[in-house]
Amino acid sequence: MTALTYAAPSGPYPVGVRDGEVLDTTHQVLRPQDAGGRRLMVRVWYPALTDCRTFRPYLVDNEAKSLQWLTEATGIPQEWVDRLADVRTHSVAGAKPAGRGFPTLVYSHGAVGWVSQNTPLMEHLASHGYIVWSVAHPGEACGVHYPDGDTVRYDNVFNESFLGTVTDPHYLDKIAGDVATRFELTPEFLDGHTMGPWSQRWVDDMRAVIDAIEAGSVAGAAADLTDAGNTSRMGVFGMSFGAAAAASTAQQDHRVKAVVNLDGGQFLSDLLDTDIRVPLLHLATDMRGQLTTMGFPPVTAIDANEFFFEPLRTAGTRSDVHRLCMTDVTHLELTDLVLIPAQDRAAVLPGGGKVESQPTIDLVNAFIRAHFDAALLGIDNRFPRPQLAEFPAVTPIDLTPVRTWALAHTNPPARPGN
C-alpha cells in the first residue's frame, strides 16, 4: 500500500513544531473534570532555523490511540487512522525559531477533531512567516494527548448533542424553509440552546490561549515561542465547530484583527444580523449538495451562515467579508482525511472522493494565506481575485435573496428572540 504524502510547504522558512499546555482557571467550565482548571494542550508550528531533514511523524507515542477514538466517534475506517500514522510531515520537532515578530494565529479544530487535523495548512502558513497555535479542546476533541503522556477521550454527552442537532425536526425546517422561516428558527440553535454553550466554551479556550501567549505562561516545550510572535498582528481561524468559535472569538476579543471560518455554522448570536468587527474569509463547502446526498429534503438555505457577519439589509456587500463556496469538496475533506485516496473517500464520505488530495490542500492554503497576508500584513494582493482565477471551482456566495427579503420590510426584521 502506497504511503500517504503531501507536498512540502512553499515558503522560505523551514518549519518547526512543538507542544505545550495552557491551564485556564478564568472562564466558566462545562465539564466536571475541568473544575480545577481546564487543561488545554497546544501544538505550535513556526518559522525555524534548521537544515535538519528528520521530520516529525504525523502521530507519535499515544497520539495514535487518541486518533483511534475518531473512528469510534464518527465511523471512519480504522485503516484511515493507520495510514495517517505513517505520514511523514515537513516539520522538525523542537527546531530553533527563526526570529521574532512573526504574526500570530490561533486555530480551533472541528468537533471530535484533533489538534493536528490540518497539518499541511499549518506548515504552509509557518513556512511563510506565521506562528500558528492549534488548540486541543479536551472532551470535545476525539482525543487529546498531553506532553506528559496523559490522554483524554471525547465526552459522549458532547458528541451526542452535536449529532442530535442535525436530526432535530426544526433544524430541517431551518435549512429547507423560505427565508422568513429560516431566520425565525435560527435562534433555536444559538446561545443557550443545542451547541451554543459548547461554542462559547471554545471561544473561551481560544481567548485563554491568547492570554497565555501574551503573558508568556504557556508550559512545556512551546513556552519560549510566546516571545517569537507579534500579538498586535493576531488572527484566528478554525474548521467546522472550531470555525464558528473562531468567528465569535474575533467578535468578542479586540486583540484579534482577522478571521477565517472554514466551513463552520455559527452557534452564537453575537454575529447574527450584525457586522463582524474584522475582515473575514468564510470558505464553505457545498452544503446543499452534501445534505441532498445524505438524504435530507431539498435545501433552500444559501449557506450555513446566511444570516451572520453582516446586517441582513446589506448582507453580502462588505468588501472585507468574503463568502466563498468550494465545489465538490465535502466537509471532512477539509481535514487531513483528504490525504486518503479519492476512491476510498468516495466509498465512505457522502459525496466525497470527487477531488484529489494535493489540489484541495493547495486551494485551502492559497485562500487562507492570502486573506491573512492582506488583513494582518497589509499586503496589496487584490485578494481574492487572483485565487478565484487560479481555482475556478471556488465561487462567491450570493446573498441577494436574503438582502432582498430584508429590504422588502418597512422596518428591518427584528432579530429573533428580541
Q: For the chain, report the end-to-end CA distance as a whole number of angstroms.
A: 58
Question: Which tens digits make up the pLDDT trace of 259-315?
Answer: 999 999 999 999 999 999 999 999 999 887 777 777 777 888 999 999 999 999 999
123 or 413: whose pLDDT is higher? 123
CB neighbour list of residue 307: distance below 8 Å, 6 or more residues apart: 182, 183, 186, 272, 273, 315, 402
Residue 159 has pLDDT above 90, yes or no: no
CB neighbour list of residue 8: distance below 8 Å, 6 or more residues apart: 90
Q: Can you name the residues that pair with 259 across neighbouring β-strands?
A: 236, 280
CA distances from 76 to 57, 71, 280, 286, 344 (A): 21, 5, 31, 21, 11
Furthest-apart CA pair in the chain: how many Å? 66
Q: What single-letter amino acid sits at 128?
A: H
User: Which of 159-163, 215-219, 358-362 shows the lowest per-residue confidence on average (mean pLDDT)?
Assistant: 159-163
- Asked if the structure places residue 10 within a domain, the reply is no
pLDDT value of residue 249:
98
Q: CA 309, CA 277: separation in Å to the nearest integer?
A: 9
The CATH number of residue 276's host domain is 3.40.50.1820
pLDDT value of residue 416:
65
Q: What is the DSSP string of 306-337?
A: TTBSS-GGGTT--TTEEEEEETT--GGGGSGG
- Asked if the structure places residue 25 within a domain, the reply is yes
- Asked if the structure places residue 343 within a domain, the reply is yes
pLDDT value of residue 194:
84
- Asked if the structure places residue 418 within a domain, the reply is no
- Asked if the structure places residue 345 within a domain, the reply is yes
CB neighbour list of residue 334: distance below 8 Å, 6 or more residues apart: 118, 239, 240, 262, 263, 285, 364
- Asked if the structure places residue 189 within a domain, the reply is yes
Quote helix, strand, coil % in the chain, to nearest 5: 40, 20, 40
Residue 411 has pLDDT above 70, yes or no: no
Question: Which tens digits make up the pLDDT trace of 201-253?
Answer: 999 999 999 999 999 999 999 999 999 999 999 999 999 999 999 999 999 99
Q: Is the distance from CB of 128 to CB of 14 less than 8 angstroms?
A: no
Q: What is the mean pLDDT of the chain?
A: 93
Share of the chain above pLDDT 70, in %: 98
Question: Which tens digits make up the pLDDT trace of 372-385?
Answer: 999 999 999 999 99
- Asked if the structure places residue 234 within a domain, the reply is yes
| Residue among 101, 86, 99 nearest 14 (CA) | 99
Residue 51 has pLDDT above 60, yes or no: yes
Q: Is the distance from CB of 235 to CB of 375 less than 8 angstroms?
A: yes
Question: Which tens digits make up the pLDDT trace of 300-321?
Answer: 899 999 999 999 999 999 999 9
Q: CA 291, CA 350: separation in Å to the nearest integer?
A: 9
Q: What is the CA radius of gyration of the chain?
A: 20
- Asked if the structure places residue 413 within a domain, the reply is no
pLDDT value of residue 211:
98
Question: Which tens digits make up the pLDDT trace of 339-359?
Answer: 999 999 999 998 999 999 999
pLDDT band at residue 413 using 50, 70 and 90 as cut-offs: low
* Overall domain count for the chain: 1
Domain boundaries, position 296? 16-407
| Burial state string for 227-245 with b = 16 or more CB within 10 A and e = fewer than 16 | ebbebebbbbbbbbbbbbb
